[in-house]
Amino acid sequence: MRVTYAQALGDAMKEEMRRDDKIIIYGEDVAQHGGIFGVTRGIYDEFGPGRIRNAPISETAIVGSAVGAAMTGLRPCVELMYADFMLVAFNELFHCCGKWRYIHGPEYKLPLVVRCAMGYSFGAGPEHSNCFESLFMHAPGLTIISPSSVYDAKGLLKSAIRSDNPVLFFEHKQLYKVRADIPNEEYTVPIGEAKVVREGTDVTIIAVSLMVTRALEAAENLGKQGISAEVIDPRTLVPFDWETVRRSVRKTHRVVIVEESNLRNGIGAELAAVIQEELFDELDGPVKRVAALDVPLPYNLTLEAYAIPSTETVVNAVKTLF
């Protein structure tokens, strides 16, 4: 069937809700309205107010109560609307979600998913555009998922809902309308497995979420210039699939990491550090990072586009390694 990324996410929730009546959904404007990005559209009509509810503008209480509901028998899948609003519930995400599972032992399960929409979207401005995976990668105990394709969005959300660990699920706003053919039959995508989205031999480009698209465009362009780029989408940032990256780096000996969040202390900083520690002898050059400029993302469209990695900046970063 041909569906959008947003529909695929909605279908994932509906399928799981039909399978397990312990799954409930709440968040701001998610019920009758179907969410401001339309992801939960149709769920209220099928499942009614007992299973999906509009919450007050109370991100702290949304996340905190999801932790409490998860430890007492339900499997909440809550929506925070914008990833930016996660900071309102930072304590609940970093401490309660991240740590309580660990400190309270194996019988203490926290089957909850916090979904949010992230990424720049043409003038959303500095407080409605952030990609925050790297902030939460610092917190032990969380599972962090950032799908870049329609297929992965559905399969990973289903796995996230079935997980007994707390999951932060980052959806990209510009991907919501992307359409693709996905299987009619049910499937899941395992948490913690990266995907080689394009095979190549000369350089490994690790790209996250929307940046996978940029990386693929860059790879096409580089191919015309005689550089064969392999593109890896980690899909899950924590736990991270190091084996797929190691295998690729041993083949290509060059690495470029592309992300949409700020450069400083970003995803690329962590990945580059681990790659140089573990695979130093395999590298033919420094691990390059391509990320947003270290400024609050401006509202102005020209400035916004300038701050975010483009296909061209990815191409240029790769070429410095040759």
Partner 1 sequence: MEYSKELLRDLYEKLLQIRMSEEKLVEIYALGKVPGHIHCGVGEEAPYAGTFAAAKEGDWFKVTHRPVSATRLAGVSFRRIYAEILGKEAGTSGARGGVNHICELDKGLMGTAGSLGCDMAVSVGAGISAQYLGDGRIVYTYYGDGTSSRGTLHESLNLAAVWKLPVLFVCTDNQYAISTHESETIPVENPGADRASAYNIPARVVDGTDVLAVYEAAKELTDYVREGNGPAILETKCYRWRGHFEGDQAKYRDEKVAQEMREKCCVRNLEKYMLDHQIMAKEEMDDVEAGVEAELLDALEFAEAAPEPRVEDIFQNLYVE
| Cis bond before residue 239 (omega within 30° of 0) | yes
Site residues (vs partner 1, CB under 8 A): 24, 50, 53, 55-56, 58, 60-74, 76, 91-92, 95-96, 100-109, 140-141, 143, 164-165, 239
Q: Min. distance of Cβ 74 from partner 1 in angstroms?
A: 5
Q: 231 pairs with which residues across the strands?
A: 198, 205
CB 270 to partner 1: min, Å: 17
Whole-number minimum distance, CB 140 to partner 1, in Å?
6
Residue 271, token pair as written in the block: 């990945």
Q: Distances in Å between the alpha carbon of 41 and those of 13, 32, 264?
A: 11, 8, 37
Decide whether 96 or 182 has the Cβ nearer to partner 1: 96
Pick 62 or 297: Cβ nearer partner 1: 62
In the complex, least distance from residue 6 CB atom to partner 1, rounded to whole angstroms: 26
Are the C-beta atoms of 126 and 167 separated by less than 8 Å?
A: no
The nearer residue to partner 1, 239 or 285, going by C-beta atoms, is 239
CB of residue 197 vs partner 1: minimum separation in angstroms? Answer: 26
How far does the chain reach from its first CA to its final CA, in angstroms?
42
Give 170's contacts (C-beta < 8 A, 6+ positions apart): 83, 116, 118, 131, 132, 133, 144, 145, 146, 209
Toward partner 1, which CB reaches closer, 163 or 209? 163
Nearer to partner 1, 42 or 141 (CB): 141
Burial 210-237 (b: 16+ CB within 10 A, else e): bbbbbbbebbebbeeeebebbbbbbbbb
Judge contact between 230 and 194, C-beta under 8 A. Answer: no
Active centre residues (catalytic): 59, 128
Nearest approach in angstroms of CB 143 to partner 1 is 7
What are the two backbone dihedrals, phi and then psi, of residue 187, each rounded to the nearest 5 degrees? Answer: -150, 160
Of the pair 126, 140, the CB lying nearest partner 1 is at 140
Partners of 60 in the beta sheet? Answer: none
Q: Using CA atoms, how far apart are residues 97 and 269, in angstroms rounded to an integer?
A: 24
> DSSP of 103-134, one letter per residue?
HH-TT-----EEEEEES--SS--TTS----HH
